[in-house]
Amino acid sequence: MSTIRLKNIRIFANHGCLTEEEKIGSDYIVNLKVTADLSRAAKTDELGDTVDYVQLQRIVREQMAIRSKLLEQVGQRIIDEILKEIKLVDSVRVRVSKINPPIGGDVAEVSVSMSSRR
């Protein structure tokens, strides 16, 4: 198995339980790790034989655009869509972080990490 990572995908979205979060929105960082057998791609040098980074980033952006109250739901949607769309992927690990969350204190970020295997 090989690993592909997308690090620090910056996205503005409107997730959260508070009405203000829905209206104002926040900055998020998404980190993604997928595993897959990339041995064929290593031999052929063809994009069709690997996991396309552009497709991974598109899935993250599309799922982050769908409003949720909880980061857990967003993370699970990202995982589910990657496993649905990209048959080559064996496992997915995602971390969704809300930057400067409105939780009544000086907190740089809150994050949820989730993973799943085929």
- Residue 2 near residue 54 (C-beta atoms within 8 A): no
Specify the length of the chain in residues: 118
- Residue 84's DSSP bridge partners are none
The answer to whether 98 is a known catalytic residue is yes
- Residues with Cβ < 8 Å from 17, sequence gap 6 or more? 69, 70
Looking at residue 89, its amino acid is: V
Q: Which of 23, 84, 87, 98 is catalytic?
A: 98
H or E element: which one contains 35? strand 26-36
Residues with catalytic function: 98
